[in-house]
Chain A
Amino acid sequence: MSTTTFEGMPATEPRAATEPSYLTSENTIASWLFTRDHKRIALMFFASVTFFFFVGGTAATLMRLNLATPQGLLQPAVYNRMFTMHGIIMVWFFLIPSIPTTFGNFFIPMMIGARDLAFPRVNLLSWYVFNLSGLVVLFALVMGGADTGWTFYTPLSTVYADGYVFAAAIAVFINGFSSIMTALNFIVTIHRMRAPGMTWMRLPLFVWGIYTVSVVMLTATPVLAMDTFLLAFERFTGIGPFSVQHGGDPILWQHMFWFYSHPAVYIMILPAMGVVSELIPCYARRPIFGYTGMAIALMSLAILTFFVWAHHMFVAGISVYSAILFSLMTFFVAVPSAIKVFNWTVSLHKGRIIFDAPMLYALGFVLLFTLGGVTGLMLATLAVDVDLHGTYFVIAHFHYIMVGATVSAFFGALHYWWPKMTGRLYPEMWARSAAILMYVGFNMTFFPQFVLGYLGMPRRSYTYPVEWQSWNVLSSAGASILAIAYLLPLLYLGWSIFFGRKAGPNPWGATGLEWATPSPPPTHNFGDTPIVTLGPYSYDPENDTFIDQEGVSHAR
């Protein structure tokens, strides 16, 4: 059974352990700010996106607080700016960069047996560009925010909205360059720097997820740059392609915006799918079911996502024929998604399942993603979309995918790889409680919004008729639980950095190459380049063993 060889490095006592870890090799501030180590850059990205997650989350908290009563607490202008900034910050400053820039950055080189990304300096530049765009968006926020919704629909955004729309658009414009640099880096790294024997069909699915998302980022983000540039230009000069008065077309904005922003949804979910495909085999102690199908499904999602953008515009006045075509393409997207859900579920069959915190997040992911998916089918159905478009049903649907699924995967990844990143174990019971609390709080927040949406509550409203208050109160109550569930990990993970038990190289008995290094890893990851001869998930639930990277079978 033992076929993988990992030359000259017994995993239990790695030779590299004598080297200082990447955290302690240098201790000056400059050694962090000018580092080219992908692991340090990953932690810096982690700090940035976590900061923006809590900024965006604060805006969401204020929104739910306002909606607890029909009278509300906030001025209408403040509420409108809060949901706009919540959208902009969560989409571009948390969801899109979160998993790729932190876990992708940290683990892509380690999972393919490389010492760093292909372009370490570009990687660092990406972080600086990201923070530059972050400063611009914070400037827009502090000065009073924009009030257009994150979708910047024209002519509201170009002519009618006051507020800092120009600054917000420029922030998104700059942010795109960070995406492009990171994506390019991953693509080149995965193509060129795989260890000997790491064939495409032996790549862990997380690497596949990051690869596909990088392709989407690299091809879609330039369109976003064009969109936001034209928008800012039109707002600044009054001349532009989206203005009826000057012979332009406001619908053109929607086409251009969604041509990027629909793929952006997949930029958020594909890495999350990759994460869950790592977690489920590890905690079910068996190989993933249908590896090839999973990889093909990721690739087909990445391609199909470019042909469905107009399903955001079924009521905007596009022709009936193009609406029918885009609806059909959207139904095709459901097929690879259904394959993935099926395969994750069957991956539990005859496993030896351990319900540690990362697994709870992964199982939560599958259920929330499925509910987000089936409601997505309802929205893809033309006649039903006519009714549901622009209501809270849409809000609930995309939060199930983007928050329920992606953020669950983010936290799952964070717990799973925390011992590798910090060398410390977190308190398991606290982590499980947070995972369960997050699942309960999430459903309590967003499930009522499906009902509200079908009853007809329009999104982006600071007030509502009094008969809808009970659903809104339920949702706001859920949001407070959710807020606690998001804050908890900050506390116990922070605690574990100083007081947590020291983690061994492989606390979960996982098979990836990243677990063959000490925790935390040394700067250069591997003493010798590993040689790979086996696929990624060599777990055996029958004997409760796994085959490590030297080809030795271990009891868990």
Chain B
Amino acid sequence: MNKQVNQKAWFLVLPVVILVAFNAVIPLMTVVNYSVQETFGDNVFSWAGVIWFEQVLNSPRFHDALLRQMLFTAIILAIEIPLGLIIALAMPRKGFWVSVCLVLMALPLLIPWNVVGAMWNIFALPEIGLLGKGLNSLGFDYNYTRQPLTAWFTTVLMDVWHWTSLVVLLCYAGLVSIPDDYYRAAKIDGASAWAVFRFIQLPKLKRVLTIAILLRFMDSFMIYTEVKVLTGGGPGNATTFLSIDLDKIALGQFDLGPAGAMSLIYFLIILLFSWLFYTLMMRNEAQ
């Protein structure tokens, strides 16, 4: 669509700008302030330069949390995106069952995040939870409060349970927007199911898949509440992802300087990845 240039449009955007600026710029500047200052309490601050940034960037604790976070996000994307796509492809396109499927699948998305954590906590308890008891009676040695590996397994399973539906809904929306004629033409040409997927469905899904991957990347990179309630970052530090580590430093120890520096680094990492990903996908589309 050809848009006309109209500087007065700024007036329409103004309320949003004021509201978001109040909420985003002021707190962000507060964080920037902390990150370059030192305090000994009593609201006395002194200039500290970049020592907190150096400290955070050089600390093994931050490296470990970042590594865990990246591994977690990579696993989440590797499972949820293909799984969501496959389920969307297998869903019925018309009729009564579509509504039933959509409503049931959307349900986990609307449960408060701490309830999701609490729900999985009791679902996975080794003695009295359905999952924990089930796995133990099948002969697996499962106790997510003690073993790092099973804690990871439970966290990933919880996230797959919680968010795969979003990918399904998005892919499904993309699939129903493909006109029937495309399929008919493919049938006349004798195209295989794989060819239909590769040359008709996948190109049409590119746009929604971009949104799905971006949203899942951002949200899994920011995961906090669910893991906090499920494992509390433990056992040990096994599931201490970036947000949980940040929370420990900022609200647990009140080390405002390092927390501020870490916040900024954290935010910049998310921005950088999102921008890179966005640019790459857009370049593909342009070709």
Q: Do A and B come from one complex?
A: no
Q: Interface residues, chain B, CB within 8 Å of chain A?
A: none
